[in-house]
Amino acid sequence: MNEPKVFLAGDKIEWTESLSDYLPSAGWTLKYILINSLNRYPFNSIADGESHKVTLLNADTNAWVSGDYLLQPYVENTDGTQELLPVRSVTIKQNIITATTYDFRTHAKKTLESIEAAIENRAGSEAMSLSITTRGGSTKALQYLTHKELIEAKNYYEYLVESELQQEKIEAGIEPGNKILISFK
């Protein structure tokens, strides 16, 4: 199938699908549901000869929220028959041209920054746990991560962020700079 893997919110998006088992002349229409845990965007194709053409205008995608989604294509016949086609994972990205703000940080970058802030905030603190007694007399305990656990988490997320940066460089055609040169004598 020809659906894009990345949709840009607020952009015009077009593609055509040829499905020999589901021809428009036989009463089939190709439809889609783009969905995640917070949003659902249904849209349809139109017949273009014996193909199905999808055209999403800027106004159609302008309110789309960025994130990871499942794209469920399905066909529906004029007799009411519906058949699911293979689902795909896609991403909606924010259109920077129309955006008023943009948080470019990935999950790994946000988490690394939170861990670093926790380390800074805990640098002078000796408390490793906290107990609270409720009005009913029950006690709730909260155990903080140790400094060692925070450092291990920091190291892990630094690795993830560095991997993301190297992947961005590769996709941009830039040498990632992570080669190890060995000489034999």
Tokens of 162: 């560095």
- Going from N- to C-terminal start, the domains of the chain cover 6-93, 107-171
Amino acid at 136: G
5-47 pLDDT, tens digit per residue, is 999 999 999 999 999 999 999 999 999 999 999 999 999 999 9
Q: What mean pLDDT value characterizes the chain?
A: 88
In the chain, the percentage of residues whose pLDDT exceeds 90 is: 57
Which residues face 73 on adjacent strands? Answer: 32
Average pLDDT over residues 85-114: 87
How high is the pLDDT of residue 124?
66
* Spatial CB neighbours of 170, under 8 Å, sequence gap ≥ 6: 176
Residue 157: other Cβ atoms inside 10 A: 20
More confident residue, 98 or 149: 149
For 6-93, which CATH class?
A: mainly beta
Tokens of 29: 């229409």
35-85 pLDDT, tens digit per residue, is 999 999 999 999 999 999 999 999 999 889 989 999 999 999 999 999 999
The band of 101, judged by pLDDT with boundaries at 50, 70 and 90, is: confident
**In the chain, where does DSSP find H-type helix?**
58-61, 107-122, 147-171
The band of 173, judged by pLDDT with boundaries at 50, 70 and 90, is: confident
